[in-house]
Amino acid sequence: MTVIDYSIIVVFLVGVFWLGSSFYRWVGTPDDFYVAGRQLTPFILAASMTTANISLFSLIGVSGTAYQSGISIIWLTWTGNMALVFSGLFVIPVLRRLRIRTIPEFLEMRYNGAVRILVGVLWVFRLAFWIAVVLYAGVTAAQRLTGIMSFTMWILVFTLIVVVYTTLGGMWAVVLTNNLGFLLMMCAVLIILPMAMAAVGWWPGLSAHLPPHFLEFVPQSGKYNWKFIIAILALGVQWATLDQGLLQSAFSARDPRVVSKGMVLSAVMITPFAFLWITPGLAARILYRSEEHTSELQSRQYL
């Protein structure tokens, strides 16, 4: 990397920190902090949800799985979109009418305070694990891009930035930095996709160089067959109707109609976008096959 590359990274991190922290002026009530004053429009809600749903898990994890196993991992995204539509039309508008801020709050209304506390504690561990996965992906990407391999340093940098601007700006900071991330992410993948596909000869090149099962959307065998699709759809419904990380944005919408429009719009946007991070993973399978083969030969020599 050059000085310009490092400068871009520094400017980006400082810019996100400054932008997120500046929204502390918008926080005057608890609703401002937790649910952005319930003022989100359909597009802002959809962009925020899209960025939260994609994250580095898709750009690194799902793309890497496509590299290893083929295009059928796209159902991880598509079934989630189906669940978003179902939840946005039939479930979350009902919860939005209750003007709650969290799912545990709803459970207290339905059952009692003990259930709310139990679920809240369990979700602390569940969300901490998920955030750790996303954070690990971000640190791994930063290490590879910059050549700075200090794991602890990157953990501290990322967590400090996010914790500070979230604490200051609340949900306004989260939503609007997500919208910025959405625009930057789309610019990045729209640049990477044609470059990767041109390097392998576009779709005919993929078909010619990859094993046939790599391009089967519903393979008959392997980990990502029709059984996987059914299972991940069931899990997707649970995620789209109960996940606090997702629904915090939904509860910030102006009214139930905005919730429905925003969630459906997010699902519609993500459906074709899934190819933006799936196909570069497939292209990488061709571009870096020789390096992988060399590594395998070297490891066999050591054995």
Model confidence pLDDT, tens digit, residues 92-102: 888 888 888 88
Convert the pLDDT of each residue in 50-68 to its tens digit: 877 776 677 777 888 888 8
Digit-coded pLDDT (tens) for 198-241: 888 888 888 888 888 888 888 877 788 888 889 889 888 888 88
Residue 295 pLDDT greater than 80, yes or no: no
Cα distance between residue 36 and residue 298, in whole Å:
55
Confidence of residue 293 (pLDDT cuts 50, 70, 90): very low
Query: Pick from 53, 97, 59: which is nearest to 266 by CA?
Result: 53
Confidence band of 297 (pLDDT split at 50, 70, 90) = very low
Kindly report the average pLDDT of the chain as a whole number.
Answer: 82
The tokens 């419904």 sit on which residue? 237
Q: Does the pLDDT at position 32 exceed 70?
A: yes
Confidence of residue 1 (pLDDT cuts 50, 70, 90): low
